[in-house]
């Protein structure tokens, strides 16, 4: 693989996978067969963390055939959608939401459809920490939109107008993981700066404190505290998946998969355990397949560090007894 960033499953059980730096979309079967379908037009690199990032299939994919992508373009980060029909990826894309500030680093990029049928996206602060508290900036946010790109009228700041209509939560530095538990609660993982990475339980309209507060360090009064923190050397949390209220978090910097269980009240988590430490290098994505397996992506050779291993830049399929 070339930096497999995001995975989304087709009705037949195979997956679409984005490759960050080649801007390509692959189809990968459960037996490991790989086919290149094409590129997302207009995608460019930032020679850092930008490129072709998140991917999500429409909840009505069986009839609509839309695939959504988060990618870096010449002047911005954006969400677009493309048709995938009869095994063929279209050659053109349709803008869904544009104008997200980009930078070499802190682009966020995860997109997922929630249980409510809305599209959620994580966007980093684009190395401008002031964006995170500015409701009129979509950066440093988790935002929520209708599949056609319009803001839902029940978003928390819809009445404010402008970009604030899209905001679901704010005060984020560089979130890259999204997943929902059995109660329909949204959890998100976030890269810290120098001290603490975060796992957050996201509230509608919630403010998570960046840049005044990093994890539990700083001026954190009045902000929503994370449910778990790690040192930035341990985790670097990117993709998140939840299965039976167990949370799986792909660690980039720490080069390990973190596993923890949501408590019976749904308000917190147990002590996370690290598994597969260093085995596949920098772990970027974790996604549940229709057959119950977890697909884990490694992006070890991503220009941002990592120790060369035998299995660089792979997809690992994990099954449960």
Catalytic residue IDs? 106
Q: Residue 229 contacts by C-beta under 8 Å, 6 or more apart in sequence?
A: 192, 196, 197, 198, 199, 215, 216
If we measure between CA atoms, which residue out of 25, 74, 76 comes closest to residue 54? 25
Determine the Cα–Cα distance for residues 115 and 118; give it in Å rounded to an integer: 8
Burial class of 115 by CB neighbour count within 10 A (0 to 12, 13 to 18, 19+): exposed
Number of neighbouring beta carbons within 10 Å of residue 35: 11
Number of neighbouring beta carbons within 10 Å of residue 202: 20
DSSP 8-state class, residue 152: P
- Chain-centroid distance of CA 1 in Å reads 19
Determine the Cα–Cα distance for residues 224 and 173; give it in Å rounded to an integer: 14
User: Counting runs of H as helices and runs of E as strands, what totals does the chain give?
Assistant: 1, 26
Determine the Cα–Cα distance for residues 141 and 172; give it in Å rounded to an integer: 6
Number of neighbouring beta carbons within 10 Å of residue 129: 16
């Amino acid at each position: 693989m070339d930096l497999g960033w995001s995975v989304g499953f087709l009705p037949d059980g195979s997956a679409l996978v984005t490759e960050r730096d080649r801007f390509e979309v692959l189809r990968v079967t459960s037996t490991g067969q790989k086919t290149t379908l094409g590129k997302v037009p207009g995608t460019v690199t930032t020679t850092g963390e930008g490129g072709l990032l998140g991917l999500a299939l429409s909840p009505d994919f069986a009839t609509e055939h839309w695939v959504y992508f988060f990618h870096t373009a010449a002047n911005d980060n954006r969400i677009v959608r493309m048709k995938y029909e009869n095994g063929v990826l279209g050659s053109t894309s349709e803008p869904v939401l544009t104008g997200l500030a980009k930078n070499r680093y802190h682009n966020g990029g995860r997109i997922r459809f929630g249980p409510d049928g809305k599209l959620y996206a994580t966007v980093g602060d684009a190395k401008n920490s002031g964006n995170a508290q500015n409701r009129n900036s979509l950066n440093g946010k988790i935002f929520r939109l209708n599949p056609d790109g319009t803001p839902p009228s029940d978003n928390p700041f819809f009445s404010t107008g402008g970009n604030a209509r899209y905001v679901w939560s704010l005060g984020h530095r560089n979130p890259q993981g999204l997943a929902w538990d059995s109660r329909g609660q949204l959890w998100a993982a976030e890269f810290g700066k120098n001290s603490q990475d975060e796992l957050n339980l996201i509230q509608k309209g919630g403010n998570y404190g960046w840049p005044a507060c990093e994890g539990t360090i700083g001026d954190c009064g009045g902000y929503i505290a994370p449910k778990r923190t790690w040192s930035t050397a341990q985790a670097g949390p990117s993709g998140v998946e939840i299965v039976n209220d167990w949370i799986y978090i792909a660690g980039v910097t720490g080069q390990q998969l973190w596993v923890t269980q949501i408590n019976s009240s749904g308000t917190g988590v147990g002590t996370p355990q690290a598994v597969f430490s260093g085995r596949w290098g920098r772990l970027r994505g974790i996604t549940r397949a229709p057959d119950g397996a977890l697909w884990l992506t490694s992006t070890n050779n991503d220009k941002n560090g990592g120790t060369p291993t035998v299995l660089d830049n792979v997809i690992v399929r994990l099954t449960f007894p």
